[in-house]
Amino acid sequence: MRDLFDKIYKDKGPLGKWAEQAEGYFVFPKLEGPISNRMKFRGKEVITWSINDYLGLANHPEVRKADAEAAAKYGSAYPMGARMMSGHTDLHEQLQNELAAFVNKEAAYLLNFGYQGMVSTIDALVSKDDVIVYDVDAHACIIDGVRLHLGQRFTYKHNDMESIEKNLDRATKVAEKTGGGILLISEGVFGMRGEQGRLKEIIELKKKYNFRFFVDDAHGFGTLGKTGAGAGEEQGVQDGIDVYFATFAKSMASTGAFIAADQEIINYLKYNLRSQMFAKSLQMVLVEGALKRLDMLRTMPELKNKLWENVNALQGGLKARGFDIGTTQSCVTPVYLQGSIPEAMALVKDLRENFGIFCSIVVYPVIPKGLILLRMIPTATHTMEDINETLNAFDAIRERLQNGTYKRLSAAVSAAMGE
Ligand SMILES: Cc1ncc(COP(=O)(O)O)c(C=O)c1O
């Protein structure tokens, strides 16, 4: 018999194996100073393109004031206990009602975290006779929720209608045998590449197939749609989404999340959502903070307008300079370049050290081998100066990538990695 930890000593996992080369720089970097368009990385100012503070609320003076006042009033503990037992308050209810109204649903229910809440909601919505159909590029919280499912599940090719139909056909056959139903799950916006889920076309399929539709709109909430109600509003199909989910971790610049649906569905989830039944309630400081933020989403359209001004300037500028930004239909701005992982590391280092640009980097196995994805998140706090500086820096790094500078700089790492 082996010691349980043997595998841990031998295999650190697909990312963990790079810890020595990457930690503190490419992974677990420390961004310091107030959350904004410019922060400090290793003591130097950088333009930050990797923070999901879409509307610039994280450090907005009104938000900071509301958070401080709520903390002074309630501390960080109140209320103690799970919602069902001793953690329920008028303000939790008020926030739920306001969130439901904002996303045009009858009712809403708060979750402590998006990730954990999504896992738990999937778990609560299906039983072993049901079938789940979901996008192969779904966020980890969807994948992990599906992992809890005891019945059948099918993935479809990313945003591919033909594959969706094929898998709905398969799911229908299974469900007819088991006597269960079908849950189809998509994201409103896919966070890596920025495409919107094909919500409208999926909802059209309800005419042909019997399924319920669950949408994770983490990146759409607050950024898309006329009022900011998200991808469903943007595509004019919010009514066709049976269960809507969004986190407070992005546009709301906080912690927490919610689901919204018909009253009867929320009533059921209230009594069956294990993440809320067996965990402490969302703290009041976060509830009051979320009420303030939601009020700002409702009453300050200028925040979303400024965000989109910046998105359009950044994405338009990149396209005009011939960069491949894929098929984004949201604020998420990917830039695809050709290169190896060692080249990508040299390039990112150059961007940070010499150009003062901080953005996330995504490489194989998340995207195909030989591609480098620089993922940028514009926010309402960025300025035209930030954007122009960044565009100029991107011109320079592309030139260096193409003329082999990064290949030379990374030769030693490449050799060590056997690339
Ligand atoms: C698509 C998506 N769903 C869910 C989550 C998880 O939300 P949270 O950070 O609130 O746990 C995230 C990341 O924050 C996300 O990008």
Ligand 1 pocket test, pick from 120, 134, 139 with the greatest ligand atom count within 8 Å of Cβ, gives 139
Q: What is the pLDDT of residue 357?
A: 98
CA of 247 to the centre of ligand 1 (A): 6
Q: What is the pLDDT of residue 417?
A: 64
CA of 224 to the centre of ligand 1 (A): 17
Which atom in ligand 1 lies closest to the alpha carbon of residue 116?
11
Binned at pLDDT 50, 70 and 90, residue 17 comes out as confident
Q: Evaluate: CB of 115 within 6 angstroms of ligand 1.
A: yes
Which atom in ligand 1 lies closest to the alpha carbon of residue 255?
10
Determine the average pLDDT of the residues in 14-37.
Answer: 87
Tens digit of each residue's pLDDT (9 = 90 or more) over 204-216: 999 999 999 999 9
Report the nearest-CA residue for atom 14 of ligand 1: 249
Token pair in block for residue 342: 């060692």
Q: Evaluate: CB of 139 within 6 angstroms of ligand 1.
A: yes
CA of 235 to the centre of ligand 1 (A): 21
294-298, Cβ contacts within 8 angstroms, sequence gap of 24 or more: 294/95, 294/98, 294/99, 294/102, 294/252, 296/55, 296/57, 296/60, 296/62, 296/63, 297/55, 297/102, 297/222, 297/228, 297/251, 297/252, 298/102, 298/227
CA of 117 to the centre of ligand 1 (A): 9
Rounded Cα–Cα distance for residues 147 and 84 (Å):
26
CA of 131 to the centre of ligand 1 (A): 23
Binned at pLDDT 50, 70 and 90, residue 125 comes out as very high
Q: What is the pLDDT of residue 82?
A: 97
Determine the average pLDDT of the residues in 95-99.
Answer: 98
The continuous run of DSSP H or E covering 357 comes out as: strand 357-358
**Across 218-227, 301-310, 337-346, least confident range:** 337-346
Determine the average pLDDT of the residues in 340-364.
Answer: 92
**Across 8-22, 103-117, 311-325, 363-377, least confident range:** 8-22
Token pair in block for residue 237: 């199909």
Asked whether residue 24 carries a pLDDT value surpassing 80, the answer given is yes
The pLDDT mean for the chain works out to: 95
Q: What is the pLDDT of residue 369?
A: 87
- pTM of the prediction? 0.96
Q: What is the pLDDT of residue 412?
A: 74
Asked whether residue 123 carries a pLDDT value surpassing 80, the answer given is yes
